[in-house]
Amino acid sequence: MQPASPPLLDMRGIRVVFGPLVANDDVNLAVERGEIHALLGENGAGKSTLMRALAGLLQPAAGEIRIDGRLEPLGSAQEAMRLGIGMVHQHFMLVSTLTVAENVCLGLPSTGRIFPDLKTAAAKIRELAKTYGLDVDPNARVADLSIAGQQRVEILKALYRGARILILDEPTAVLTPQETEGLFRILRSLAGEGTAIIFISHKLNEVMTLTSGVTVLRQGRVVATAKTAETDARGLARMMVGAEIQLPKLEDVTGPVSTLNLSLEGRSKTPFAFSGGDIEPAAADPSPKPLYGFDPPARGGFKPGGMILAVENLVCRDARGTLRVDRASLAVRPGEIVGVAGVDGNGQQELAEAIVGLSRAEAGTIRLMDEDVTASAVARRIALGLAHIPEDRHRTAIVEPMSIEDNLILEQAGEAPLSKRGWLDRRAIAENARRIMAEFDVRATGANQKVGTLSGGNQQKVVLGRALSREPNLVVAVQPVRGLDVGATAFVHRQLLARRAAGAGVLLISTELDEILALSDRIVVMFKGAIMGELARADVTVEKLGLMMAGRTA
């Protein structure tokens, strides 16, 4: 009987430490030729560290790596390249001012020539592009390529160097649905030629669609290895966090305008409906709803009053004078979530900053609670009930060296009961922190712990607690779950649905289509700063959204 051939990649007993921190602890990972293998885990589970060790970017403290059954001493990127290991990072490693061919040749071992033979390189790039369906012009400047085009260049860089093992880190994070399908066709083609592919993603539906095997890390250790066909998305989520996780969705919300039928710690478990005035109990909908289904929830006789937010013909430019928002108009009503979809970098951040007052619009108007706030200070907008969950919590939401309790009062330090006669009331501040930490499940050693020492999920809970505990009229949430694991994501989504159920308006700006589709009543799409159109929930399809995200009308 012929002995089974060894896997193309076999990592055994990998241990990576950073001082007292053990990032990978006795990790085993095997990937066969022609296999697309998913690597899953929560934030901080050790996925990227393990792949950096494989790519030669750091040296493991223990363990071995075998390629084709041979023990190989990795520890440098050059050695990994020689062995046919290539990595496509989430943030591309390209020089935008150079051509595709020039980028592909960067970092190649010297051949004795002063300059690389770009003509020969271009011919080889065209051959690889044709073989694997990578539509790339080797003479094009990288700056002129789309995000998907730049990603194809990164894949070509790896193939040009002879990659037999290809690592992709969150490769669909900045792609439209159509571009994602194109990437999957390329990866299947590569796998068909025998390439072993390691696919890192937090999008479990993509893992189920694309991969044949999966390894799950938790706290630096392998907790499960399985064939994808023998599990499901819910089972994978349970493996990742060690508990049952149900992502909330708009189908959990029923009633005339909005009803929340979710079990939330620290809140009443009675579903409520907002009817334009008082909040009153509403009956729950007993009918089952599909996960991420597109059917609209029952609306009854929803007749909203005035708009909570009305943006008309907004024009914004960045510091260099580049047009970032181009005559954008949108509205948010009481008791609804309006999703803003689009590939990252199409004006969403500038739109949000203008609405919350962090930047000034060049033209157009912004009305909040029927008051023109186009030129108003941030403080006035907060007084009118605006809450902001920024895209980059480290830059604009938290002060890392400060304590949790002090971060929680940044927007209201001078207000009673937190301040008396101009002096901070530390007892009231501590009580405020205790209440918010309990309600929003902030896990820390105490309210005096520095925010910078918390996990990403707990930092985001601090941001949420500060923003939502004041019961705002409008929540502007920008990429609210970016970088969060499935458990923290579910918590954030529950909080947004809770504000909707209480009658607030939510403007949800996200590049995650699953998030937009799961939570939004209406969806607008941005492309190059312009609103391409609006879709009612009942009319939404992924295909329509994808076309609009690429600048085409649905």
* Domains observed in the chain: 9-241 (3.40.50.300), 272-401+450-549 (3.40.50.300), 403-449 (no CATH)
Amino acid identity at 143? A
Report field, pTM of the whole predicted structure over 0.75: no
Token pair for 68: 């084709």
Whether omega before 334 lies within 30 degrees of 0, making that bond cis, reads no
Amino acid identity at 389? I
Q: Helices then strands (H, E): number in the chain?
A: 17, 24
Q: Which residues pair with 99 in a beta bridge?
A: 141
Burial class (CB in 10 A: 0-12, 13-18, 19+), 419: middle
Sign for the CA dihedral angle at 201, 205, 210, 214 comes to: positive
238-240-245 Cα angle (round to 5): 35
Closest CA relative to residue 311, chosen from 522, 477, 531, 496? 531
What span, in angstroms and rounded, lies between the C-alpha atoms of 33 and 420? 69
pLDDT in tens, the chain (554 residues): 455 789 999 999 999 998 887 889 999 999 999 999 999 987 778 898 899 999 999 999 999 999 999 998 877 888 999 999 999 987 788 999 999 999 999 887 766 666 778 899 999 999 999 888 888 999 999 988 888 889 999 999 999 999 999 999 888 877 778 888 899 999 999 999 999 999 998 888 899 999 999 999 998 999 999 999 999 988 888 888 776 666 677 766 543 333 333 322 332 222 222 222 222 333 333 333 322 222 333 323 333 457 999 999 999 998 888 899 999 999 999 999 999 999 888 999 999 999 999 999 999 999 999 999 999 999 999 999 999 999 888 788 889 899 998 888 887 766 777 777 778 778 888 888 899 999 888 888 888 899 888 877 788 889 988 888 888 999 999 988 876 777 778 888 998 999 999 999 999 999 888 899 999 999 999 999 999 999 998 888 888 888 888 888 75
pLDDT at 89: 85
Contact in structure between 408 and 465 (CB atoms under 8 Å):
yes
pLDDT at 110: 64
Q: DSSP letter string over 23-48?
A: EEEEEEEEE-TT-EEEEEE-TTSSHH
